Amino acid sequence: QFLHVITRKGQGYMLAEADPILYHGPGKFNPQEGIKASGAGKKTFTQVFGEWLCDMAQADPKLVGITPAMREGSGLVEFEKRFPDRYYDVGIAEQHSVTFAAGMACEGMKPVVAIYSTFLQRAYDQLIHDVALQDLPIVFAIDRAGLVGADGATHAGAYDIAYLRCIPNMLIMTPADEAECRDLLTTAYHQNHPTAVRYPRGAGIGNLPSKELRTLPLGRGEIRREAQTTGKRLAILAFGTLLYPALDVAQKLDATVVNMRFVKPLDIDLIQSLARNHDYFVTVEDGCVQGGAGSACMEAMNLLGIAKPLLALGLPDSFIEHGDYNLLMAQCGLDAAGMEASILGRFPDLGTSPLSLKTPSDQVPVGK
């Protein structure tokens, strides 16, 4: 005998039955009142992507949007309404979504694949053989990069930098906020290579983007703060949204902070320039340390012959369970306090001048 059971999402709870998408993976809420909007007034990165996709589609009729059954979660609802003939939901088939995008790119279309970081892992073989090997111009809008709070270890986007940057032809971009996310999506769209733009779940700092479709210089970071100390100087290379806690730390430690923006191509020239007048380096990222952006910086410094200490901060070599996002980041040492403690633990002489490290006898003037 074979028993086929068809379930109904939210059966018996009228609010969930009426809106199964909203109640698919809810957090804490009052069951009598239902889920209410946060009212914070900030756009999520997912919303920024969805708006950009519609604007870019309006500007370029060759754009097509592809999702493996994540229309709502990836922000494609409005795109489907406005461009139904250019919207493709291939179902829960991540491998097919990537191969499907490759086929469309071969025929002159400009595919944008909206996919969660953890789900892209399922299509790794297709990513290499069907996309990168042929160097096809496909944009991968990678949502849920980094930790995902209540969604837990299975949905954490901890590994995408590590598993993408080793693939030839692949470009990787890490926006620091909402406005930069839109700019980097536009930048990615105009590349003739497979390009990944990774961004986290939820809202950023509230730096809302304009409606322009601006591009940024490929492979170029920006210095956001310059150290003023005449002693030991530290440069913090920040990837993605950790730029902002890094700026808080730098204010206390008087460090230089760079918004790197690109993991690949890495801004080698900027790293080389910083090495001329900085003693220590720290990299911060919301992905795994092993093989991540910090590793890319170490490899680059090794090739350039830069013998400066580098501390790589990121997610530890362990699975991160469910929990409040901010609490989990603090437990991983990736909030401002944790970064500061790690930096001072590794570089205790930060800010001291060579003169202050000498003994009193060393400081006696010659001839006395």
If asked whether residues 228 and 262 sit together in one domain, one would say yes
Q: If you search the block for the tokens 């006696």, which residue do you land on?
A: 364
Mean pLDDT of the chain: 92
If asked whether residues 193 and 277 sit together in one domain, one would say no
If asked whether residues 167 and 267 sit together in one domain, one would say no
94 is annotated as an active-site residue: yes
Q: Judge whether 7 lies within some domain.
A: no
Percent of the chain clearing pLDDT 90 (strictly above): 82
Mean pLDDT, residues 94-106: 98
H or E element at residue 89: strand 87-89
Q: Residue 355: its pLDDT value, please?
A: 39
pLDDT band at residue 353 under the 50/70/90 scheme: low
Q: If you search the block for the tokens 């059966």, which residue do you land on?
A: 11
Degrees, nearest 5: CA angle 257-260-262? 175
Q: Confirm if 180 and 261 have CB atoms less than 8 A apart.
A: yes
Mean pLDDT, residues 306-326: 96
CA atoms within 13 A on the CB side of 283: 30
| CA of residue 358 relative to chain centroid, distance | 43
pLDDT surpasses 70 at 358? no
Percent of the chain clearing pLDDT 70 (strictly above): 93
Mean pLDDT, residues 87-96: 97
**Residues in the chain, overall count:** 368
Q: Judge whether 293 lies within some domain.
A: yes
If asked whether residues 175 and 320 sit together in one domain, one would say no
Spatial distance between the Cα atoms of 62 and 108, rounded to a whole number of angstroms: 8
Out of 51, 71, 80, 122, pick the active-site residue: 122
Out of 9, 62, 214, 220, pick the active-site residue: 9
Q: Residue 40: its pLDDT value, please?
A: 56
Mean pLDDT, residues 163-188: 98
Q: Residue 9: its pLDDT value, please?
A: 81
If asked whether residues 71 and 189 sit together in one domain, one would say yes
If asked whether residues 160 and 228 sit together in one domain, one would say no
Task: For residue 1, give every residue at least 6 positions away whose Cβ sits within 8 Å of its Cβ, in sequence order, or none.
Answer: none
211 is annotated as an active-site residue: no
Q: Confirm if 350 and 232 have CB atoms less than 8 A apart.
A: yes
Q: Judge whether 3 lies within some domain.
A: no
Beta strand extents in the chain (DSSP E only)? 63-67, 87-89, 110-116, 139-143, 171-173, 195-198, 222-225, 234-238, 256-259, 262-264, 280-288, 310-315
Q: Judge whether 26 lies within some domain.
A: no
Lowest mean pLDDT among 41-50, 304-313, 328-337: 41-50
Q: Confirm if 150 and 27 have CB atoms less than 8 A apart.
A: yes
Q: Residue 34: its pLDDT value, please?
A: 83
Task: Give CA separation, 186 vs 60, 89, 275, 277, 320, in Å.
Answer: 12, 22, 31, 34, 32
28 is annotated as an active-site residue: no
Handedness of CA 288, 314, 193, 95 (dihedral sign): positive
If asked whether residues 237 and 322 sit together in one domain, one would say yes
Q: Judge whether 5 lies within some domain.
A: no
pLDDT band at residue 21 under the 50/70/90 scheme: confident
If asked whether residues 157 and 231 sit together in one domain, one would say no
**Could you list the residue range(s) of the whole structural domain that residue 231 is in?**
222-346
Lowest mean pLDDT among 148-152, 213-217, 299-303: 148-152
If asked whether residues 306 and 168 sit together in one domain, one would say no
pLDDT surpasses 50 at 245? yes
Q: Confirm if 99 and 134 have CB atoms less than 8 A apart.
A: no
Spatial distance between the Cα atoms of 83 and 38, rounded to a whole number of angstroms: 29
Q: Judge whether 265 lies within some domain.
A: yes
Largest CA distance in the chain: 102
pLDDT band at residue 368 under the 50/70/90 scheme: very low
If asked whether residues 182 and 254 sit together in one domain, one would say no
42 DSSP assignment: P
If asked whether residues 129 and 233 sit together in one domain, one would say no
Q: Judge whether 357 lies within some domain.
A: no
Mean pLDDT, residues 322-350: 96
Structure tokens at 158: 């901890």
Q: Judge whether 317 lies within some domain.
A: yes
Handedness of CA 110, 135, 184, 240 (dihedral sign): positive
pLDDT surpasses 90 at 360? no
Structure tokens at 362: 């060393």
Q: Count of domains in the chain?
A: 2
Q: Confirm if 151 and 126 have CB atoms less than 8 A apart.
A: no
If asked whether residues 278 and 172 sit together in one domain, one would say no
Q: What is the CATH number of the domain that holds 281?
A: 3.40.50.920
Mean pLDDT, residues 137-153: 96
Spatial distance between the Cα atoms of 251 and 280, rounded to a whole number of angstroms: 16
In 178-232, alpha helices (H): 178-189
Q: What is the CATH number of the domain that holds 127?
A: 3.40.50.970
Out of 94, 178, 180, 340, pick the active-site residue: 94
Residue among 120, 244, 224, 82 at smallest CA distance from 178: 244
Which tens digits make up the pLDDT trace of 252-275?
999 999 999 999 999 999 999 999
